Copies of this chain bind each other. A is one copy, B any other.
Amino acid sequence: VKVSKAMAAQHREALLTAACRLFREKGFDKVGIAEIAAAAGLTHGAFYTHFSSKEALCIEAITAMVRRTVEGLKTAPALDVYFDAYLSPLHVLARGEGCPFAALGGDAVRQSEAIRTSFSRGVEQLIDAFTQAAGSDDEPDSPARRARAINSLALLIGGLTLARSAASEGLRDEILSALRAGVLDSS
């Protein structure tokens, strides 16, 4: 059942989009090719006409998620709004659409070297983007500013991880509140 080139390109995008969501929801290892293909409305066999292997998909998915995250940072209205949205119950629940670094940071370290490398490149891009977003426009990028950006990122990622580990809403909201208050102090 051949399909028009436009349709095929759409299928490829659908596979990639589904992978980005499912990987963040369940981790790289707990998502199968068949599941991703089904989410894109295809069967598992079709997957291999678009990607050479699961590893290749992982790498493309990481690149895509990082790109979107970095773009989101660049177009963010104000950093305190970004912080509040990041440290919100909504973000805690919406793993599949949320920060790829919080969702997959622990996972990526244990994958193949190619995946770790592409994830690491993502971290570099994230730090760069955050350093730019966190400074005033006239001030030049300084090591101190970069260090502050790294601290903020660590707080956000660690905070979201902690909040997601909380089984009760009470604990979750206490963690989120403490972090939102804490972020204000350090900025």
Q: How far is the CB of A131 from chain B (nearest CB, A)?
A: 11
Q: Is the interface of A mostly helix, strand, loop or mixed?
A: helix
* Cβ A165 vs Cβ B107 within 8 A: no
* Cβ B151 vs Cβ A182 within 8 A: yes
A135 interface residue per 8 A CB criterion: no
Interface size of A by Cβ–Cβ distance < 8 Å? 52
CA gap between A47 and B14 in the complex, in Å: 43
CA gap between A162 and B166 in the complex, in Å: 21
Given known A-B contacts A150-B162, A150-B175, A178-B150, A106 and B102 have beta carbons under 8 A apart: yes
> What are 20 A-B interface contacts by the 8 Å CB criterion?
A27-B107, A101-B165, A102-B106, A116-B165, A119-B165, A120-B168, A123-B165, A123-B171, A147-B178, A147-B181, A150-B159, A150-B174, A150-B175, A150-B182, A151-B155, A151-B159, A154-B155, A154-B175, A154-B182, A158-B158
